[in-house]
Amino acid sequence: MYPYRPRRRWLRWILAYLAGTVAVMVIGLCIEGVVSPAPQDPPDLIGPTPLWAQPASPATAARPSARPRASASSGTAALSGPLALVAGRQVINGVELGFPHSTAGAVSAAADTAGEVFSTLDPDRAAAVMRLTADASYADAPQQAAHGAASDRQYLGVPAAGPVPAGYSLVTEPVEYQVRDVTADSALVLLLADFTTTQPGEGTQTRVAVFPFPMSWADGDWKAADPGNASYLSLAAEPFSSQAAALGWQELIPLGAPDAG
């Protein structure tokens, strides 16, 4: 028979106490990991930016179900308030052309161009859009547009050439606007847009993007001029939020909306 050694009992008690303490700590950490918000990452910028797009942070807040409507404005005065987009006189290769000689026409032309050139993963299509809509002084626009579409393909993991495989898409929808430096034949149009990408394994992600469009009146239509290197990312905000309103953004009413006229 082994001799009685009381020290072993105390050792077992100490080990049991330490094991229980560690278990409680581990459980506490697990609970904290579930209920505590994780540290926020920096804004998730879209990779190679297409042409002059300036993607910003993820767009996650819900859209209001209803917002005030207003009729389209005209003339050369700076616009204020919701703006109903107006249509061009003709459509060539899916691109609207021949917009009214007004500030509303300049905004509408910019919004249509943005929606077309930034919603394609086909470099040839992107170049074709800019050949139709760019000002003559912006000679590099088609090449830049094609490079942007090619960069988007690379970012999404789409082969550099050939048809876009099923499950991949890129959609840009301008939803708010600002206008600056308005004259009879020019205006700087800023667009706040939903920038939505879809790819297998990643699903659909929507971010916001700021697009600057210097517009010039030439040959009876509004044309996109070279935006240069100016950055407007400080104006990025969730569309229709109080922050967006404070930054000067106003609603764009799409063609065909009930109150768009």
Concatenated DSSP letters of 70-100: -PPP-SSSPP-S-EE----SEEETTEEE---
d(CA 109, CA 223): 8
Q: How many residues does the chain have?
A: 261
Residues 6+ apart with CB under 8 A from 228: 214
Q: Are strands 169-183 and 54-58 parallel, antiparallel or unpaired?
A: unpaired
d(CA 22, CA 119): 54
pLDDT for res 3: 40
Chain centroid to CA 57: how far? 8
pLDDT for res 6: 41
Domains in the chain (CATH in brackets) are 54-60+69-253 (3.10.450)
Chain centroid to CA 164: how far? 21
Contact 62, 231 (CB under 8 A): no
Amino acid at the residue 248: G
**Residue 207 bridge partners (DSSP):** 58, 195
Q: Which of 243, 247, 76 is nearest to 178 (CA)?
A: 247
Contact 28, 205 (CB under 8 A): no
Tens-level pLDDT at each residue, the chain (261 residues): 434 334 444 334 433 444 444 333 332 323 222 222 222 332 333 333 434 444 443 333 333 333 433 333 333 446 778 999 999 999 999 999 999 999 999 999 999 999 999 999 999 999 999 999 999 999 999 999 999 999 999 999 999 989 999 999 999 999 999 999 999 999 999 999 999 999 998 899 999 999 999 999 999 999 999 998 888 989 999 999 999 999 999 999 998 777 655
d(CA 105, CA 240): 22
The fraction of the chain above a pLDDT of 90, given in percent, is 62
pLDDT for res 259: 62
Q: Rounded to the nearest 5°, which phi and psi values hold at 131? A: -65, -30
d(CA 237, CA 249): 9
